[in-house]
Amino acid sequence: MNLPNIISELVKAQNEFDSGAYANCFNKDAEVFDEGKNHKGKIEIQNWIDLANKAYCATMTPLDFNESENILSAEISGTFPGSPIVLRYHFQLSNGRIKYLKITT
């Protein structure tokens, strides 16, 4: 599967539980929407993913990438009820970084 470099970096950061590297995949004014909440800016994104990593120890296995819509389908495994599940990551990219990410089922 051919992923954009920044998305490959995001997957690597997630699988290494590196919240700093994860946040660095985003523009400084980026936004993430997950579980009904918005997280704006690198600091909020880093805090959000750090808490999620500690709570769920979730890893990502990319399954499919829709290039025309920038949607990554990935199997997410961790210490949460129902694991593993498949989630969809809807990306908006800008200048080689992630501008917006919405995570859905």
What residue spans define the domains of the chain? 5-104
Mean residue pLDDT across the chain: 97
The pLDDT assigned to 92 comes to 98
Query: What mean pLDDT is predicted for residues 23-42?
Result: 97
Cα–Cα distance measured from residue 62 to residue 55, given in angstroms and rounded to the nearest whole number? 21
The DSSP line for 11-78 is HHHHHTT-HHHHHTTEEEEEEEEETTEEEEHHHHHHHHHHHHHHHH--EEEEEEEETTTTEEEEEEES
pTM value is 0.95
pLDDT at 1 over 90: no
For residue 47, give the amino acid letter: N
> 5-104 has which fold?
Nuclear Transport Factor 2; Chain: A, (3.10.450)
The pair of three-digit structure tokens given for residue 92, joined into one six-digit string = 């908006």
- Report d(CA 47, CA 21) in Å as an integer: 12
Measured CA to CA, the distance from residue 86 to residue 63 in angstroms comes to 9
What mean pLDDT comes out for the span 29-42? 97
Band (pLDDT 50/70/90 cuts) for residue 4 is: very high
- Confidence check: pLDDT of 44 > 90: yes
